[in-house]
Structure 1
Amino acid sequence: MRRSLLALLAAPALLLGACDDGAEVVEPTEQAPATADANGADDAAQTTSPAGSSDDGAAADDSAVTSLAPDEVEGGEDGQAAADRAKEFLLALVDADPAACTLMLSFTDTTQPMAQVPEDLELCQQQLPETMSAAVEAQGLGEEGRDILGAMQISGAEVNAEGDTAVIDEDNYSELFAESMGDSTMTLVKIDGEWFVDVERFLETP
């Protein structure tokens, strides 16, 4: 399940490359889903619930990792705001929701949010649903994968000295996702007080 979800999250690279080149989107190559025992029970078993929390499966285990106060996470309030935006973006991707496009920087002008570049926004909103729906189907996911991703916690992010760039890495993910994300990072840029995913550096490996 972890490998399947990571492959799913990598699918936007196909979309972004196609949009950038002005070419037709190529749907993801169908792959066999990663093996999971009893609907992902192995993942749940590998996640340790904090003392006093219930153990009701993968989603319950991961959601039990409650968010810390903003001053207790990496990057403080800004770091947690970036983390919350990153999770919002990932959920929108899995839902094949065109709204994900408004959470990104522009394809053609990475100094602006995509919503401020109408041509990019229109192209993204047209192509993202088809691309992501195909990716979800190819990976054999569905409600289970969405539920697991929804239960993922992201705590803070490394914010630079200027306060305008945040990087999320494995240290910021709850246990259920830290292993699957590996060395991959997510970079967000703050513009006019809001965080946007830098699509050029999405799931970048240092």
Structure 2
Amino acid sequence: MLLQMDADRAENVPDQTPVKAAEGARDPLSAGEQMWNEFRADLWEFLPWLAAGVGIFLAFWLLAVILRGVTSRLATSRGVDRSLGRLLAKGVYITLIVTGLIVGLETAGIDMTAAIAGLGLTGFALGFALKDIVSNLIAGVLIILYKPFDEGDTVKCGGFEGVVKRIDLRYTFLENEGDDIFLPNSKLFTDPIVVKGGTSSPDMRPEMAAENPPPPPA
């Protein structure tokens, strides 16, 4: 009787081993399914906030486009200088776009405070790399505000001469015998220039005359 029971136990042992191996093989699959389910749940929870953030940004973008046109038309109707009007319109547009981007990202759940803090060193390096662009932007704003020359004036600077067609934030566009000349604003603001025309600000004329004295009589 005992021998018969031992034989039965011996027959049952090999049958249990594959079952345990199969159970062990199913564990990684269950973990993968659990990770996928968690990711899918988080994604479905995040999508409404992402859609809300995109909607807010698009609303700010549409508002920026509308207000840019309104600002430009108001500046023209009030007799504001065209370059200054473009500067004001562009400032309104950029301000609303940046605001919409920040609000949209915050709505989507992205902590902009931590992101801005993390960009401190990166922003310093980026600012150093873009120092020429920044100097042109600042010079463009100062040129538009102080108006050492205006559109329609003939300007000579650093061997380049032409009629001013447009003053932008980064460049001043000249035309000379059909050729387009793009002069960086920083060069126009720091280098001596000769202005031929009577439309620029009279307050700047004495300074220009001092920087560019007339040639001595022959």
- Same fold by TM-score greater than 0.5: no
Q: Greater strand percent: which structure?
A: 2
Q: Greater helix percent: which structure?
A: 2
Higher relative contact order, structure no. (Cα contacts within 8 Å, ≥ 6 residues apart): 1
* Bigger radius of gyration: 2
TM-score by length of 1: 0.24
TM-score by length of 2: 0.23
